[in-house]
Amino acid sequence: MISTSGFNTAGGGITIAALNGVTGASLVFTFTTLPTANGSYTVIANNSTTQTSSQVSFSCAAGSNVYESTGAGSVNVTVTVNSGKLTISMPDAPASQTLGGSSTVNVNCNVTQP
């Protein structure tokens, strides 16, 4: 479970800041448009040049380490909209380190917009 002190939406992006109380840690989901209804979105590589309305990519950072979604594993993000507030649930999704190293980690979240 991710706790957050910030949940910002702009354009097609959702930024979740201060993950688990870590200042500077963030998780950013990129949709073609901000979800306004319940739906399921397939995770794709963060550097994909084309993205459809049924897909999402993400990047995350903690300190000097940055990771980006790889699109591997056929992972789906579930978005639920309740009274205009978003809940985002994502099981383990692979992410490759693009800054600060070269490891691959699994990223997951279950967070509701405050």
Entry pTM: 0.84
Residue 64 covered by a domain? yes
Residue 28 covered by a domain? yes
Residue 50 covered by a domain? yes
Q: Please report where in the chains the tokens 């300190």 appear, as a residue.
A: 63
Residue 1 covered by a domain? no
Tally of domains within the chain = 1
59/98 Cα distance (integer angstroms): 10
Residue 1: per-residue pLDDT:
36
Chain segment 19-65, per-residue pLDDT in tens: 655 556 788 888 888 888 999 999 999 887 788 999 999 998 877 88
What is the extent of the structural domain holding 47? 6-112
Residue 22: per-residue pLDDT:
57
Residue 37 covered by a domain? yes
Residue 91 covered by a domain? yes
pLDDT over 60 at 2, yes or no:
no
pLDDT over 70 at 17, yes or no:
no
Residue 31 covered by a domain? yes
Chain segment 58-103, per-residue pLDDT in tens: 998 877 888 999 999 899 999 999 998 889 999 999 999 998 788 9
Residue 39 covered by a domain? yes
